[in-house]
Structure formats: C-alpha cells, structure tokens
Structure 1
Amino acid sequence: MALHIILNELGMSFELDKTDTDAGKTEAGDNFLKISPNGYVPALITDEGEIITENPAVLQYLADQSPEAGLAPPNDTPARTRLQETLNFVSSELHKSFSPFFSGKDLVGAERQKAEAGVRRRAAYIEQRLDDGRSFLLGETFSVADAYAFVVLNWAGFVGISLAAYPKTQNYVARVAARPASIKAMVAEGLMEQAT
C-alpha cells in the first residue's frame, strides 16, 4: 500500500494487479514467481518492462521519477542518506517486527508478549524520532519513508496492539492517514469506505 500511496501522491497512472502470494498468482492469473522470484510484494513493472522489488528501492525509484514533488531528498546528499537509513529501519526492523503476527499461527502467552515487545520497541524509536516536534520522519516534509512507516504502523490496530503509549506516533499515523493520497489508496484496497 505504501507504493499505492506514493503513486497517488505523484498523480501517476498505474494499474494494480492484486496478488495471492500463498498461491503465487496475480489477480490477472500470472505466475507471480516469474515477476518476483522471492514471491512477495511489492513488485513494480515500469513502462519499460523493468521489474523493481523491495519497498525501499521501489519507493525511491518512484520519488526520483518526479523529484519536483519532494518525496525524497536529492541523491548524494546527507538528507538522502537519512531517507535511506529510515527506509531501511522501517523495512528491516519495524516491518519485520510484525512478522510473527502474520506467520499463520496464533500467538498466545509468552510468544505473543515477545512479539508485542518487539513492535513496541520499534514504535518507541519512531516516538523518539518525532520527539522534537517534527511532523514527519525526516522533518516537516512528507516523504516516501512516511508512506511506508504509516502502512506498517497501521498494522498495530489489525493485530491488537495499542499505540497509546506513543502519542506522537499515534498522531503521526493519523496525520498520514488523513492525506488524500492515503485515503484514496485505503479505499481502493478495501481498508475503508469512501466518504459520501
């Protein structure tokens, strides 16, 4: 969904092809392993036929297609390095901390407590990043890292983890959720109803 949000932010035309990663098939009936050999989403097929996988790579690729939108700092700058650092944290730490909840088995007792503690530890880091009053992870400008972090942090509600101990993080999630591009993506993906 992070890519969907960014495509909406950029106003790019695109086609979604939902994927059943367990079955390895796209909604159009294609063998997903031929598109993404690792078998997981996202996968972006460019107009030139290039296939790009991994959230940090695809998000930066999209941002670089329209640098005037300001969704990623320019390459070869300290700010771009901070973006890469943040995207890698979201990918390797925050995203992965939710993995136990999507393993297909029920988490109970000590196992659930351990998994929740992992999510909370990463949420505490986000809270610390926002502690200086910034609106977004890199400062006052929404970036591709915010789209990705929002999607992952939003999973807390789906798995029954409260973010109440992290009020800045809760406000941040609400701020990103209220963006028109986020709303449009959530409606399209069936995560919320279209407001009338």
Structure 2
Amino acid sequence: GGYPLLGRLGAGGMGQVFLSRTGSGRLLALKTIRDDLSSEPGFEERFAREIRNSDRVRSPWTVTVVDYSAPGRRPQWLATEYVPAPSLAEWVTAHGPLPRTALLSLAGELCGAVQAVHQAGLAHRDIKPGNVLLARDRPRLIDFGVARAADDSRHTRLGVSVGSPGFLAPDQAVGGVAAEPADVFSLAALLVHAATGHG
C-alpha cells in the first residue's frame, strides 16, 4: 500500500499488526491478514464490505479507517489511526482489576461505543479486553470489521461461530448469528473481567 513498516506492534489470530505512517507523517496501525484467511472463498468481498461498514461508525470511541488493500492484493491489509495505548487485557494482566471509579467510567464509555456501533446498523461480534485500547482521553473499541469477516469465513467453513471464549454470548457459543444482544452480553463479561481480573 506504499506505507513503510516502522515496527511490529503485535500478532493475533487474524495476522500481524505493524506501526506505519502516511506520507504526511501520521502514524498508522497496519494490520496484515493471514494468507489462509485471504484465500477463503468469499473472504475478500466480506473483508471489503465489513471495512466499509466499519468506516460508517464515526465515533470518538472507535479508530478511524484510513485505507485498506485493493481487491486481489496479497496480503490483504487494513490501516487505521494508531492509538498508543495498552489494551484492557494488557492493563489488567499488569496491574490487576480496575479501581471502582475507573471501572464505572470505562463502563459508561464502552456503552457509548457499543451504542455508536449499533446505531450504524452493525454488531461488533468480538467484544473482549484485547479489543479495547485504554487511551488517555477515552477507550477505543477496535477490530470489529475484520473480526466479523473472519467469523463469517469460519462459520461457513466449520459450521460453528468462532470468537473469544469467556466473552461469547450463549447464542454465539452454539453457532448462532451474533447480533446486538450478543454484544451487550460480551460487554458485561468484559466488565466482569475488568472488575475481577478473571473471566
């Protein structure tokens, strides 16, 4: 995509994430998609559709989509604004449960984030501590477009829904279609994790 890779930020089930930047110097998080996912029948179309959908969510609690790969490009990739912040999962692992005041603040902010996603006509489908960045100004809910495209692909291939154990709604866990109510369940499970360090 013409964006230089400045360093590796991490890796997960979808692929790797790199620090990059635009020609003007704006920092980006550039996620590359694993080749085996990219080669799944129909994944490319779902990926493009879901990223466009994700870009419809204009909210202070989500990251801005900057660019993504053209059809047919390998590896497929997604560039979003870079938020220099730990995930909720990382924070809880390092420091333990959130204090009560911070927990209540996080709950209110994330309710706003989930509401913004739903008002755009979307469901996140993978709300978990690793998908919440604890930025200094407010938390950011990340990764819903890519997670949904991958979940659709796995559901088609395996006949079951794949998500994050411990944060799946019961209907997701048995292979049902995840929608807004499942997001609310996952948010509650995430807040239990933030409050207790478990879950």
TM-score of the alignment, normalized to the shorter chain, above 0.5: no
Return the TM-score normalized by structure 2: 0.30
Greater RCO (Cα-Cα under 8 Å, separation 6 or more): 1
| Greater fraction helix | 1
TM-score (norm 1): 0.31
- Give the number of the structure whose residues are more often strand, by fraction: 2
